[in-house]
Amino acid sequence: MKEYNGHRSWNAWNISLWLHNEPDWYAEWEWMPSEISLKRATYLLMMALPKRTPDGAVFNRLSIKLAIREYWEK
């Protein structure tokens, strides 16, 4: 598997970047680890977020899960 800046692909890296650095999108999920499961959070984010980031990365379940899962592992 190729890596892109420590992520599995450009898409995964891009999604992580946006979810951690865009204030409105960060606010969508930062409260979730203490309240709901990662699986549920991933589903809710799929419903709440647009289909793509402004620079074209596609939001999908795997890229969202990979971007935020470390917060459930703490």
36 lies in a domain? yes
Kindly state whether residue 35 falls inside one of the protein's structural domains: yes
pLDDT at 11: 97
Report how far residue 34's alpha carbon sits from residue 62's, in angstroms, rounded to the nearest whole number: 21
Residue 2 lies in a domain: no
Number of domains within the chain: 1
Q: Is the pLDDT of residue 74 over 80?
A: no
Region 46-67: mean pLDDT is: 97
Range of the domain at 37: 10-71
pTM tops 0.85, yes or no: yes
List pLDDT tens digits, range 13-49: 999 999 999 999 999 999 999 999 999 999 999 999 9
Mean residue pLDDT across the chain: 95
Please tell me the predicted confidence (pLDDT) of residue 1.
58
**Buried-state track 6-28, b at ≥16 Cβ within 10 A, e below 16:** ebebebbbbbbbbbeeeeebeeb
> Do the domain assignments include residue 66?
yes
Residue 54 lies in a domain: yes
